[in-house]
Chains A and B, each alone.
Chain A
Amino acid sequence: MRNVKEIMEQLASIAAHPEEQKSAYLAAGRKVVLTAPVYTPEELIHSFGMVPMGVWGADLELKESKRYFPAFICSVMQSILELGMKGAYEGASAILIPSLCDSLKVLGENWKYGVPSIPFIPMTYPQNRKPVYGKAFTKKGYLRVIAELEKIAGEPFDDKKLAESIEVYNAHNACMREVAKELGCHPEITAKERSAVFKSAWFMRKEEHTKLVEELLEALKEQKKEGEKLPIVITGVLADSPSLLEIIEKNGLMIAADDVAAESRQYRTDAVKDENALDSLAQKFCAMDNCSVLYDPDKKRIPMIVDMAKECGAKGVLVVLTKFCDPEEFDYPLLKRACEEAGLFSILVEVDRQMENYEQAGTMIETFREMLSETK
Chain B
Amino acid sequence: MSEEMKKKRPAPDPNSAKFKLGAIAAKAYADAQEAKDRGEMVGWCSSNFPVEIPETLGLAVCYPENQAAGIAARGGGARLCEVSEADGYSNDICAYARISLAYAKIKDAPEQNMPQPDFLLCCNNICNCMIKWYENLSKELHIPMIMIDIPFNPDYEVSEDEVTYIREQFWDAIHQLEEITGKKWSEEKYKEVMEYSGRTSRAWLAATACARYEPSPFNGFDLLNHMAVMVTARGKKEAAEAMELLLKEYEENHVQGTSTFRAEEKYRIMFEGIACWPWLRATSTGLKSRGINMVTTIYADAFGFIYKDFDDMCRAYAKVPNAINLELARDKRVKLCKDNHVEGLLVHTNRSCKLWSGFMYEMSRQIGEACHIPVASFDGDQADPRNFSGAQYDTRVQGLTEIMESNKEARA
Q: Is B409 an interface residue (CB 8 A)?
A: no
B265 at the interface (CB under 8 A from A): no
Whole-angstrom CA separation of A69 from B361 in the bound complex: 7
Q: Please tell me if the beta carbons of A299 and B129 are within 8 angstroms of each other in the complex.
A: no
B90 touches A140 (CB 8 A): no
Q: Which of A122, A131, A298, A329 contacts B90 (CB 8 A)?
A: A329
Partner of A124, one of B97, B151, B362: B151
Instruction: Select which of B89, B147, B153, B354 is within 8 A of A128 by beta carbon.
Output: B147
Residues of the A chain whose Cβ atoms lie less than 8 Å from the Cβ of B260: none
- Interface set, chain A 273-300, CB cutoff 8 A to B: 292-293, 295-299
B298 contacts the other chain (Cβ, under 8 Å)? no
- Whether B152 pairs with A136 at a CB distance below 8 angstroms is no
CB distance from B151 to the nearest CB of A (A): 5
Instruction: List the one stretch of A100-108, A219-227, A228-236 in contact with chain B.
Output: A100-108
CA distance A142 to B271 in the complex (A): 38
With A105-B152, A109-B325, A297-B139 as contacts: A329 and B92 at CB distance below 8 Å: yes
In Å, the complex CA distance between A194 and B154 comes to 37
- Collect the chain A residues with CB atoms within 8 Å of residue B89's CB: 329-330, 332-333
B332-371 toward A: CB 8 Å interface, digit per residue (1/0)? 0000000000000000010100110111111000000000
**How many chain A residues have a CB neighbour from B under 8 Å?**
52
Residues of B with C-beta under 8 A to A117: none
**In the bound complex, CA of A101 to CA of B355 (Å):** 9
- CB neighbours (8 Å) of B357 from chain A are 70, 72
Within 8 Å CB of A133, what residues of B? 164-165, 168-169, 172
A169: Cβ under 8 A from any B Cβ: no
Task: Identify the closest chain B residue to A125 (Cβ).
Answer: B151
User: 30 interchain pairs (CB within 8 A)?
Assistant: A67-B361, A72-B351, A73-B358, A99-B151, A101-B128, A106-B354, A109-B326, A109-B359, A110-B358, A114-B362, A122-B155, A124-B154, A126-B151, A127-B124, A136-B165, A140-B161, A292-B132, A295-B131, A297-B147, A299-B136, A299-B139, A321-B90, A323-B92, A324-B354, A326-B94, A329-B90, A330-B97, A333-B87, A334-B136, A334-B139
Question: In the assembly, what is the distance between CA of A127 and CA of B127, in Å?
Answer: 12
**Residues of A close to B165: CB separation below 8 A:** 126, 133-134, 136-137, 140
Residues of A close to B154: CB separation below 8 A: 99, 108-109, 122, 124
Selected from B135, B148, B358, the residue in CB contact (under 8 A) with A103 is B358
Q: Judging by beta carbons under 8 Å apart, are A330 and B92 in contact?
A: no
Q: Which residue of A lies closest to B329 (CB)?
A: A109
Question: Does A336 make an interface contact (CB < 8 A)?
Answer: yes
**CB contact list, B130-187 vs A, under 8 A:** 131-136, 138-139, 144-145, 147-149, 151-155, 159, 161-162, 164-165, 168-169, 172
Inter-chain pairs besides A68-B359, A127-B131, A334-B136, 15 sampled, C-beta below 8 Å: A68-B362, A103-B354, A124-B151, A128-B148, A133-B164, A295-B149, A296-B135, A297-B139, A297-B147, A298-B139, A326-B354, A330-B89, A330-B129, A332-B88, A333-B89
Question: Chain B's nearest CB lies how many Å from the CB of A94?
Answer: 14
Total of A-B residue pairs, C-beta within 8 Å? 149
Known: A70-B349, A105-B152. A330 touches B93 (CB 8 A): yes
B: residues with CB less than 8 A from A are 87-90, 92-94, 97, 124, 127-129, 131-136, 138-139, 144-145, 147-149, 151-155, 159, 161-162, 164-165, 168-169, 172, 325-326, 349, 351, 354-355, 357-362
Q: Is the CB of A131 within 8 A of B355?
A: no
Tell whether, in the assembled complex, residue A100 and residue B355 are in contact, meaning their CB atoms are under 8 Å apart.
no
Say yes or no: B326 contacts A102, CB within 8 Å: no
Which residues of chain A come closer than 8 Å to B129, judged between CB atoms?
102, 326, 330
Q: B361 near A70 (CB under 8 angstroms)?
A: yes
Chain A residues near B93: list those with CB within 8 A: 326, 329-330
CB distance from B172 to the nearest CB of A (A): 7
Chain A interface (Cβ within 8 Å of chain B)? 67-70, 72-73, 99-103, 105-106, 108-110, 112-114, 122, 124-128, 131, 133-134, 136-137, 140, 292-293, 295-299, 321, 323-324, 326-327, 329-334, 336-337, 348
Which single member of B94, B159, B354, B359 contacts A110 (CB below 8 Å)? B359
Query: Which of A100, A105, A112 gathers most chain B CB within 10 Å?
Result: A105
Most buried by B among A127, A331, A334, A348: A127
B359: which A residues are within 8 A, CB to CB?
Answer: 68, 106, 109-110
Q: Assuming the A-B contacts A73-B354, A133-B164, A295-B135, are A127 and B151 also in contact, with contact meaning beta carbons closer than 8 angstroms in the complex?
A: yes
Give min CB distance, A268 to chain B, whole Å. Answer: 20
For A324, the closest partner residue in chain B by CB is: B92
- Return chain B residues, CB-CB under 8 Å to A348: 88
When C-beta atoms are compared, the residue in chain B nearest to A141 turns out to be B161
B residues within 8 A CB of A298? 139
Residues of A within 8 A of B358 (CB): 69-70, 73, 102-103, 105-106, 109-110
Select one of A72, A100, A323 contacting B128, CB under 8 A.
Answer: A100
Give the complex CA separation of A136 and B164 in angstroms: 10
- If A100-B128, A127-B147, A137-B165 touch, whether A330 touches B135 (CB-CB below 8 Å) is yes
Q: Closest CB of chain B to A289's CB: distance in Å? A: 13
Question: A298 vs B145: C-alpha distance in the bound complex, in angstroms?
Answer: 10
Residues of B within 8 A of A99 (CB): 151-152, 154
- A293 proximity list for chain B (CB < 8 A): 128
Interface-central residue, A69, A72, A103, A125, by most chain B CB under 10 Å: A72
Establish whether residues A128 and B169, one from each chain, have CB atoms under 8 Å apart when the complex forms: yes
A137 (CB) vs chain B CBs: closest residue: B165
Cβ contact within 8 Å between B354 and A327: no
Within the assembled complex, what's the spacing in Å between the Cα atoms of A27 and B326?
Answer: 36
Question: Considering only CB atoms, which chain B residue lies closest to A122 in the complex?
Answer: B154
Q: Which residue of B lies closest to A120 (CB)?
A: B154
